[in-house]
Amino acid sequence: MPVNQEIIQIHVGQAGVQIASACWELYCLEHGIQPDGTIYSYCHGPRDDDTFNSFFNISSIGKAVPRVVMVDLEPTVIDEIRTGHYRQLFPTEGLITGKEDAANNFARGIYSIGSEMIDLTMDRVRKTAEQCGSLQGFLLYRAFGGGTGSGFTALVLEYLCKDYGKKPKLLFSVYPSPRISPIIVEPYNATLTTHTSIEYEDASFVLDNEAMYDILARNLDVSRPTYTNINRLLGQVHKENAPECLTIKHYTDFMEEKGIVLMKGEFDPKVIDAKEALCLANQLQLYYSQNEDSKNKLLEIFTNKPDEFKHTDLIKEIENLTLNS
What is the secondary structure of 87-144 as a DSSP string?
TTTS-GGGEEE-SS--TT-HHIIIIIHHHHHHHHHHHHHHHHHHT-SS--EEEEEEES
CA geometry: angle 189, 192, 197, nearest 5 deg: 115
The pLDDT, as a whole number, for residue 274 is 53
The pLDDT, as a whole number, for residue 122 is 97
The pLDDT, as a whole number, for residue 81 is 93
Distance of alpha carbon 158 from alpha carbon 77, whole angstroms: 25
Distance of alpha carbon 317 from alpha carbon 284, whole angstroms: 11
The pLDDT, as a whole number, for residue 265 is 37
Contact in structure between 151 and 159 (CB atoms under 8 Å) = no
Give the end-to-end CA distance of the chain in Å, rounded to a whole number. 44
288-291 long-range contacts (CB < 8 A, ≥24 apart) are 288/25, 288/29, 288/35, 288/85, 289/21, 289/25, 289/84, 289/85, 290/85, 291/85
The pLDDT, as a whole number, for residue 27 is 86
Distances (CA, A) of 31 to 47, 55, 66, 235, 314: 11, 11, 12, 14, 21
The pLDDT, as a whole number, for residue 177 is 74
The pLDDT, as a whole number, for residue 90 is 95
| Identity of the amino acid at 292 | E
What is the secondary structure of 186-246 as a DSSP string?
HHHHHHHHHHHHTTT-SEEEEEEHHHHHHIIIIIS--SS--HHHHHHHHHHHHSSS-TTSE
Contact in structure between 193 and 144 (CB atoms under 8 Å) = yes
- Where the chain has pLDDT below 70, the residues are 1-4, 41-50, 179-182, 227, 231-325
DSSP one-letter code for 80: H
Nearby residues of 274 by Cβ (< 8 Å), 6 or more positions away: 242, 243, 244
Query: Domains in the chain and their CATH numbers?
Result: 7-238 (3.40.50.1440), 246-324 (no CATH)
* pLDDT tens digits, 146-160: 899 999 999 999 999
Per-position b or e across 232-260, b if 16+ CB within 10 A of its CB: bbbbbebbeeebebbbbebbeebeeebbb
Contact in structure between 60 and 125 (CB atoms under 8 Å) = no
| Phi/psi-derived region of residue 321, left when phi > 0, alpha when psi is between -120 and 50, beta in every other case | alpha
Q: Hey, how many other C-beta atoms are within 10 angstroms of the C-beta on 99?
A: 10
The pLDDT, as a whole number, for residue 28 is 86
The pLDDT, as a whole number, for residue 47 is 52
The pLDDT, as a whole number, for residue 78 is 95
